[in-house]
Structure 1
Amino acid sequence: MNPALRSSIFITIFTLFFSNHTKAQSEGNAIKASIGFAASSSYYIENYGSQEEVDVMGGGPYLQAEYIIGVKSWFSLRPYAGAIFTSVDNNQNVQNQPQYKVTTNAFLLGAKVRLCAPIPWVAPFIEGGIGTSIGKFETITPGVNFNKSDLLLHIPFSIGLAIGRHNNFEIAISGYFHPAAKQSSGIFAVGYNFPLD
């Protein structure tokens, strides 16, 4: 078979298949619940004395709920509320030095947008937005000394996969960046969408 003809047939089948199945993507409203693990760290690589790296990372649970406004099969608006609670081992021992740590214990409010490939079963997506965090932030490292209970700006960013025939299950890696506290929280989370329409 002629390669050009074979390519044309493949493109035609591909287009027909996905034009019929992209309806599996949600264009209505939904609620998404997520749970995962968060790790808070400083923006900077910290070293002490002999250039031995100092472990300043905190870890803990992450929870979030989103209200999904499905504008198109590939685009949605997502107001969210959530929480991050990270801590460090109180027995952390850096010989003859103060205890360095990066922790986040805060509630999150904000909004983000999602761009998603409208593909059933496995749909990759990317998200970004802006929000505020209300709580206590500690970034105590050799180069930074931030320890406040405050309301701070954060910038969320996520990449992940929406899984299933209707893409109701999700696996994502996210980051919440807090410029004022000079720290960020990396998150691995799983979620489920509950359609409202």
Structure 2
Amino acid sequence: MTLTLRWYIILLFAILLSSITQAQTTGNFIKASIGYGSSSSYYIEDYGSQDEVDVMGGGLYLQGEYIIGLKSWLSVRPYAGAIFESVDKNQNIQNQPQYKVTTNAFLMGGKVRFCAPIPWVAPFIEGGIGTSMGKFETFTPNVDFNKSTVLLHIPFSIGLAVGRHNNFEIGISGYFHPAAKQSTGVFAIGYNFPLD
């Protein structure tokens, strides 16, 4: 974990422990998230002699959301974000393909969240539709997709909104890219800043 990432995490915990936040019920908020994303192919594949090789890409995930809280349990969330992944090259492989699955793209779209309006720990689920713009590579024994393009993605998330006013979030998200035959899983933490 880099020093900069540690400072971001410390800052988020300091904000969480602050007593000057407002409850997220209805109204408008901005949410900032940071996390780790990892992409893989949809298919279970035999990598032959490369079964010891990690073909999944991994890297930094950032996202911002504008939250429109319609009810204490329902919100609409336009979002913009980015994911930057890479795969370590295996120098021990000679005369064999280097399989990999990576996403390096900007993400935009909209989601709807359903949340249990419970103080301190509120589970949520959300889904929507969006667009990814960037470079996608899915190179496996059965798939060879390598393009810089604009693709449809389908976001899906589950998680917990925690803290006295549910401003701090811990969640797992998936971004499914059907055209590239890959999906990106994300573990992220976020904080909601009230605008009202």
| TM-score range normalised by the length of the shorter chain | 0.7 to 0.9
Aligned length: 175
Matches within 5 A, 1:78-117: 78-91=77-90, 93-117=92-116
* Runs of 5+ unmatched residues, structure 2: 1-21
Aligned-partner Cα distance in 1 for 2:27–2:91: 48
Q: Alignment identity in percent?
A: 82
The AA in structure 2 aligned to 1:127 is E
Matches within 5 A, 1:80-159: 80-91=79-90, 93-159=92-158
Matches within 5 A, 1:53-72: 55-72=54-71
Aligned CA distance change for structure 1 residues 195 and 25 (closer, same or farther; 3 Å)? closer
Q: Is the 8 A contact 1:85 1:104 kept in 2?
A: yes
* Runs of 5+ unmatched residues, structure 1: 1-22
Aligned CA distance change for structure 1 residues 93 and 44 (closer, same or farther; 3 Å)? farther
Q: Which residue of 2 aligns with 1:36?
A: 35
Aligned-partner Cα distance in 2 for 1:165–1:132: 34
Q: Which residue of 2 aligns with 1:166?
A: 165
Deviates more, 1:128-137 or 1:45-54: 45-54
Which protein is bigger by CA-based radius of gyration?
A: 1
TM-score, normalising length from structure 2?
A: 0.85
The alignment yields a C-alpha RMSD, in angstroms, of 1.7
Aligned-partner Cα distance in 1 for 2:101–2:129: 22
Structure 1 runs (4+) greater than 6 angstroms displaced: none
TM-score, normalising length from structure 1?
A: 0.84
